[in-house]
Amino acid sequence: MASRNFRVAKWFVVANYITLLFCFPIVFLFFYGASDMWNQRQYPGAFLSGIFGVSFIVGAIYTIRILPRFKETVLVTESEITHKLADGTSITISWEDGFQLRNRPLLGRLEVISVDGLRTIRLEHQLNGFEELLVFIKTKLKD
């Protein structure tokens, strides 16, 4: 494989912007409904509506937090893997130095960890060409 850049899939970026767009009106509706139910003394419904409102707030905060990560790229060459972060810094792990793989299925990512444990590159499952990248990394692990 010659050098290749991997980025987050466009569908994932669009889905997060849509989620963010709809979170705030939904939160308003849930809390408005909860306050209305509270005034009418229907407490169980108000509690459930409040829980839904809080969950949408958490979703909106998460989406805002990950928006800068959409600009990150992973560059893979025959000699190394480099993760270029959104703030301009980069993390590089050479294949010759050795590395470990850690699968994180609940977090939806694979981590490439340097032998010294000081550098970690997170490869999200939403990367375009993730399967191809995974096959390439596994062949480098066997070498």
Residues 93-141 pLDDT 10s: 998 888 999 998 888 888 999 988 899 998 888 888 888 888 888 888 8
Position 28 scores a pLDDT of 73
Position 36 scores a pLDDT of 65
Give the range of the structural domain holding residue 105, as residue numbers without chain letter.
72-142
Long-range CB contacts (within 8 A, 24+) of 50-58: 53/26, 53/27, 56/23, 56/26, 56/27, 56/30, 57/23, 57/27
Q: Is the separation of the CB atoms in 17 and 138 below 8 Å?
A: no
- Of 18, 34, 68, the one marking the end of a domain is 68
**82 and 53 inside one domain:** no
Q: Tokens 């308003």, residue? A: 28
CA–CA dist 17, 137 (Å, integer): 31
Which tens digits make up the pLDDT trace of 23-56? 777 777 776 766 666 666 655 666 666 677 777 7
Is residue 2 assigned to a domain?
A: no
**105 and 88 inside one domain:** yes
With cut-offs at 50, 70 and 90, classify the pLDDT of residue 58: confident
Is residue 4 assigned to a domain?
A: no
CA–CA dist 74, 127 (Å, integer): 9
